[in-house]
Structure 1
Amino acid sequence: MKYNILVCFTLILSIMSCNNEIKKEGQNLKVMTYNIRLDVASDGDNAWPNRKEFLSTQVLFNSPDILGVQEAKPNQMADLKRALTGYKAIGVGRDGENIGEFSAIFYNTEKLKVENENTFWLSETPNQISKGWDAAYPRICTYGLFTNLESNTKFWVFNTHLDHKGHQAQLQGVALIQDKISSLNSGDFPVVLMGDFNVEPNSELILKLKQNMNDSKEVSKISFGSNGTFNGFKFTELVTRRIDYIFVSKNNVEVKKYGVLSSAVDLKYASDHFPVLTELVIK
């Protein structure tokens, strides 16, 4: 009897030690950012109805735990919600609620739950529908605080689509996002910031952002695929413009893999942007 109790006690200690070791080592997390190109009939053969199945199955095949989408119109959000089984989404349209383009965050419900979420506008009045500085359009950022159901690890995810014309709107928008991160992240949890930034790596914006966060491509142990992320649906041309990013905290996130996925079917891409996929270790 004493022997059995001792064995059980030893097993319990062993399990507790393994669990602590798992938490110490961190949890793997697959994160994808994807500008899916808004649904517009003028795209012709590349219009959304002709590529939505390809795009959805591409996401499901790569099975990210977190997926940030940009340019998703309400009907595209509905299509994705139907197709991406096992996922839920947070976020609102940039023209309010279910109107306009989303910068939504989809998450794997079997692995993650949302503790806190919101969307704010990149403007001088971030809590109301608005267009900021010299932006051509209203721009938004959606964020969520997630908990890993297995390890109880918490982390923040911010997803945005910066303006394509306004230089000040780009700079001030990222500054606003960083201020929001600072104000929200009192627990010093890991942070992922991703999206279509509409600027290339040598820009003032990216150089400033790298002072506070890591560009996942630059710190990844393994890097794969095209350098560029914007293809413009031009299958026969080189893809050189890198404007889609996944940034991570400097101290508590390890980047194991970084990839730009340039899959095509019948000489056509699923979007005018390639998805960027990373494998992270959240510590």
Structure 2
Amino acid sequence: MKKISILFLTVIIISCSSENEVFNIMTYNICYDNPNDGENQWANRKEFLVDQITYNEVDIFGIQEGLHHQVVYLTENFKDYSYVGVGRDDGKEKGEYSAIFYNSKKFKVIDSNTFWLSETPNKISIGWDASMERICTYAEFESVNSKQHFLVFNTHFDHIGDVARLESSKLIYSKIKKINSKNLPIFVMGDFNLLPSSEPIQYLSKKLNDSKEVSLLKPFGPIGTFNGFKFHEPVRDRIDYIFTNNEKVRVNKYAIISDSKDCKYPSDHLPVVIEVQFK
């Protein structure tokens, strides 16, 4: 009887810790290191960008456009953080990453991989009418505290190909259905290069939840996420998103973060951050 009682209490404790565990997730197009960006070059904004993420106490964040040396810089400047991901040009270190960084004291990686947004997702390839290679990196994580497993997908859609963007949405959702055989909580994040009214975003919004639309607290920040380094102009184009599955994830807060330093943004995109709990 005593053993049964102890087991029962253990189950309750694990269940409660899983439900009450709160953490922050961010998506952030950090803008690739372009020497033609003048005063907005990576060297002039990287320190503030790291400070910005640190201040917001982000547990997991997905980046877009990070070149290998940028990924290395982030790794070196975030204590206790690791990442999963590869360069899209060769599946190793060449080209832009859609890397997922995570606090390794809070989470451990169970599985991870990268697929290309194309008709041949398991090969390095350009899909449909896209202008270049595009990828999606994903990982299954386990919470060290609650032992809860969940999936994170991070992507960067093409900025030109209309067919590619719609087919990429369909491909990612089909991958989710195949990978998520255990019906885990999921997060799909990234720079989708699309406004909320577009067909691909509407497709994903019907399959998943746009975290902005289900936030329990009123969303905070500008309307848009793409600022183009234009500090003195309104930010209206929302093209960066975090989607969740409603039956598994509670979104407590949603914000588009518009921090700046000396009238300059740390990237040409504003990061999106959400506070979440598992249901």
TM-score by length of 2: 0.95
The question of 1:73 aligning with 2:67 is answered yes
Q: 1:110 to 1:128 in 2, by over 3 A?
A: same
SS in 2 for 1:211: helix
- The equivalent residue for 2:29 is 35
- Aligned-partner Cα distance in 2 for 1:17–1:262: 40
1:17 CA drift (Å): 3.7
- Aligned-partner Cα distance in 2 for 1:140–1:218: 26
The answer to whether the 8 A contact 2:17-2:145 is kept is no
Superposed CA RMSD: 1.7
- Aligned-partner Cα distance in 1 for 2:33–2:206: 36
- The equivalent residue for 2:164 is 169
1:116 CA drift (Å): 0.4
**Rg bigger for which structure?**
1
> Once the two structures are superposed, what CA deviation does each residue of 1:221-252 show, in whole Å capped at 9, x if it has no partner?
12111110000000100110000000001211
- Aligned-partner Cα distance in 1 for 2:103–2:164: 32
The question of 1:197 aligning with 2:188 is answered no
Which amino acid is the alignment partner of residue 158 of structure 1? F
- The equivalent residue for 2:88 is 94
Q: 2:147 aligns with which of 152, 155, 167?
A: 152
Q: 1:234 to 1:172 in 2, by over 3 A?
A: same
TM-score by length of 1: 0.94
- The equivalent residue for 1:248 is 244
The answer to whether the 8 A contact 1:134-1:169 is kept is yes
- The equivalent residue for 1:120 is 115
- The equivalent residue for 2:221 is 225
- Aligned-partner Cα distance in 2 for 1:20–1:280: 16
The answer to whether the 8 A contact 2:169-2:203 is kept is no
Range 118-127 or range 12-21, more displaced: 12-21
- Aligned-partner Cα distance in 2 for 1:53–1:155: 30
Identity across matched positions, percent: 49
> Once the two structures are superposed, what CA deviation does each residue of 1:130-180 show, in whole Å capped at 9, x if it has no partner?
100000110000000000011000000000000000001101111111111
1:60 CA drift (Å): 1.1
Q: Which runs of 4+ in 1 moved over 2 A?
A: 8-23
- The equivalent residue for 1:282 is 278
Q: 1:15 to 1:183 in 2, by over 3 A?
A: closer
* Alignment gaps of 5+ in structure 2: none
> Once the two structures are superposed, what CA deviation does each residue of 1:17-56 show, in whole Å capped at 9, x if it has no partner?
4443333x34222100000000001100000000000001
The answer to whether the 8 A contact 1:29-1:282 is kept is no
